[in-house]
Chains A and B, each alone.
Chain A
Amino acid sequence: EIVMTQSPATLSVSPGERATLSCRASQSVSSNLAWYQQKPGQAPRLLIYGASTRATGIPARFSGSGSGTEFTLTISSLQSEDFAVYYCQQYNNWPPYSFGQGTKLEIK
């Protein structure tokens, strides 16, 4: 089973600044990685798939990069609505589809 590890657990950033979230896989997942955003009381929402492709309707300030075992989600200029929990997920070797434990992005 592939283990996904996200860092940091919590990230404090000021509005307007850049946020960089990391995700590491225990073995290569090629580019078969997705990022999800979850706001309090809401279901997760797909942000990025294929490591770097934005899902429909996702603003351009969200970008993903990486392949193999190291991945990054970058939010270029944080808006108030971006403060949430972010999860990475691999879908290269399944089952199971494994998620990271999440990074909470909070207002500094």
Chain B
Amino acid sequence: EVQLVESGGGLVQPGGSLRLSCAASGFPFTSAWMSWVRQAPGKGLEWVGRIKSGGTTDYAAPVKGRFTLSRDDSTNTLYLQMNSLKTEDTALYYCIAVITGTAAHPYFDSWGQGTLVTVSS
């Protein structure tokens, strides 16, 4: 069974930092593309960033230069380092795995339950 378990969310002041983790199991993590998607309270879905198998990363414009994705294939863990946080980064952050999808068709087939990040003074 595929499991994606996020952790690390919490309350942080504007300008602060936070690191989210996503523990993955039940699928070949090493070969999976992984993404983070966030959802502000009462709002829609927004893609944050992606890391391919092998480590290449891409980011959405609002977080580029502030957020960094990384992965540890030895522990099947995905990370999201968030720096210079802004109030508009407040959201539920979902960890996503592309498992049945492919590099040409990377739809989001597996989602974690999310971890809440609140940026407020």
Contact = CB atoms under 8 A, between A and B. Distances in A.
Interface string A82-108: 000001010100111111111000000
Contact of B47 (A42, A96, A100): A96
A49 interface: yes
Interface stretch (B11-19, B24-32, B102-110): B102-110
Interface in B88-120: 94, 100-101, 105-114
Contacts of B47: 95-99
Contact of A43 (B35, B44, B50, B111): B111
A34 B108 contact: yes
A57 B106 CA distance: 19
A91 B109 contact: no
Contacts of B50: 94-95, 97
A70 to B, nearest CB: 19
Given A36-B45, A43-B111, A44-B108, 18 more contacts: A32-B105, A34-B108, A46-B110, A46-B111, A49-B101, A49-B109, A50-B105, A55-B100, A89-B108, A91-B105, A94-B58, A95-B49, A95-B50, A95-B59, A95-B60, A96-B58, A96-B61, A97-B35
The 8 closest A-B pairs by CB, nearest first: A95-B58, A43-B111, A49-B107, A34-B107, A97-B47, A99-B45, A102-B44, A46-B109
Interface of B: 35, 44-47, 49-50, 58-61, 94, 100-101, 105-114
Interface of A: 32, 34, 36, 42-46, 49-50, 55-56, 87, 89, 91, 94-102
